[in-house]
Amino acid sequence: MKILVITNIPVPYRIPVYTILSSYSDVELHVAYMAPIEENRAWTLPAMEFDYYILPRTKTIAKKDGFNYIHLNKGVWKHLNTKKPDVVITTGFNPAQIEGWVWTRLKRKKHIAMSDGWLKSETSLSVIHRIVRKVILGNSEAFIGASKQTFKLFEHYGASKEKIVQSALVTNNKVFNDSNLSFKDREYDLIFSGTLLEHKNPDFVVQVARQLVKVRPGLSIVFLGKGPLQAQLEEPLTKLKVTFKFAGHVEQTEIPRYMGNAKIHLFPTLQEAWGIVVNEASAAGTPTISSMNTAAAHEVVLNDETGYALELEVSLWCKRIVELLDDSEKWQSFSSNAIKLISNYTFNAAAKGMYLASKKAME
């Protein structure tokens, strides 16, 4: 079974999945990337032990949201004709991916739509974007969703439940498990991990700190990631006399050390598809308090079990943070529950999901 994936760029949490999928005895895997990297990424990638190809680009257009890109590629049709896949998996709706879908229709091959999106992450789509999705998703043989929320998105566009398979977004749980420190040994009270951009909402962390410091002087926060908002975040934190650190860009190998050294992970995003950072926090035994604007909040951040999924109300977040910081036994329960839950989200399971979807498409 020849499978060809058309996706945007190499990402560290998908490369191991492709490596495992390529090892299946009845799979010949090819991955076509639309770009080697995007401007807002600074990853160090693991070895890519599978057949891959970087499609030639004519242009890359930055979307108005400041963190997504449209890639215009050439040579897609030629590459498909060369590889002759039985199944084409597309992870979005860039022109190259639409071309891949058209190729499957004309060549009578199988198409699988793969996504980590959900209904809330697609509320701002134009009528044209919705029509494209309806046409492609209405004419595909199978579907791969990162979450149960993605299943609902596919069903919204007419996909059959029986044709949807999960391949979750996952991280290397073990390296985060190994960095899991005890409550008393963790240096930071709070951690924020993400690019310092408006949609990640790091300013909300500052608002929370402004209230928390009134009842918890000596509050400590570490920010992982860089971005244009850093200066405007530093000024109020300095005035609050909060102990804080901006670690800047942190290599993937260093994230576990930070995540396992903080007591609570704050994820106040305004817009997110899944949120792999929640996997990282959970694997490190760090309870997450998240906004409702991410699919992970509905599946991994379980209220009163692994953390809290809350509306963006400062007083509510402060209340839950204080509860956890003041009750080490409750924190430990949340920490253990998070590790147990995320242990099901593995590279092997994600690869198996892609494989099963491909088999469904071939039925």
Q: Which CATH class is domain 173-342?
A: alpha beta
Q: Average pLDDT over the chain, rounded to whole?
A: 94
Could you tell me the two tokens for 328? 């080490």
Strand order in the sheet with 288-290: 243-246, 220-224, 188-193, 262-267, 288-290, 307-309
Same fold: 2-170+346-362 with 173-342:
yes
Residue 11 near residue 46, CB atoms below 8 Å? no
Could you tell me the two tokens for 268? 């106040």
Distance CA 272, CA 302 (A): 17
Neighbour count for residue 59 (Cβ, 10 Å): 8
Which value, in Å, is the radius of gyration of the alpha carbons in the chain? 21
At position 191, the amino acid (one-letter code) is I
pTM, two decimal places: 0.93
3-state secondary structure 175-189: HHHCCCCCCCCCCEE
Which alpha helices (DSSP H) does the chain contain, by range? 15-22, 76-83, 95-107, 127-137, 148-156, 173-177, 202-215, 230-240, 255-259, 276-283, 314-326, 328-342, 347-362
> pLDDT band at residue 121, thresholds of 50, 70 and 90?
confident
Q: What is the pLDDT of residue 64?
A: 63
Q: What is the pLDDT of residue 280?
A: 98
| 329-334 contacts at long range (C-beta below 8 A, 24 or more positions apart) | 331/183, 331/263, 331/287, 332/183, 334/287, 334/305, 334/306, 334/307
pLDDT at 41 over 80: no
To the nearest whole percent, how much of the chain has pLDDT over 90? 88
At position 20, the amino acid (one-letter code) is I
Residue 320 near residue 289, CB atoms below 8 Å? yes
Q: What is the pLDDT of residue 69?
A: 74
Averaged pLDDT, 71-99 = 96
Q: What is the pLDDT of residue 37?
A: 77
Lowest mean pLDDT among 69-78, 208-217, 268-277, 297-306: 69-78
> pLDDT band at residue 306, thresholds of 50, 70 and 90?
very high
109 Cβ contact list (under 8 Å, min separation 6): 85, 86, 87, 88, 103
Q: What is the pLDDT of residue 292?
A: 97
pLDDT at 60 over 80: no
Q: Which CATH class is domain 2-170+346-362?
A: alpha beta
Q: What is the pLDDT of residue 46?
A: 87
CB neighbour burial string for 20-52, b if at least 16 within 10 angstroms, e if fewer: bbbebeebbbbbbbbbeebeeeebeeeeeebeb
| Domain range list for the chain | 2-170+346-362, 173-342
| 321-327 contacts at long range (C-beta below 8 A, 24 or more positions apart) | 321/189, 321/190, 321/208, 321/212, 321/264, 321/289, 322/212, 322/215, 322/216, 324/263, 324/264, 324/287, 325/189, 325/216, 325/263, 325/264
Tens of pLDDT, residues 256-292: 999 999 999 999 999 999 999 999 999 999 999 999 9
Where is pLDDT greater, at 284 or 63? 284
pLDDT at 93 over 60: yes
> pLDDT band at residue 66, thresholds of 50, 70 and 90?
low
Distance CA 178, CA 285 (A): 10
- Residue with structure tokens 């697609």? 122
Tens of pLDDT, residues 234-251: 999 999 989 999 999 998
User: Is the four-CA dihedral 72, 74, 75, 81 of positive or negative sign?
Assistant: positive
Dihedrals φ, ψ of 308, to 5°? -145, 135
Distance CA 112, CA 359 (A): 11
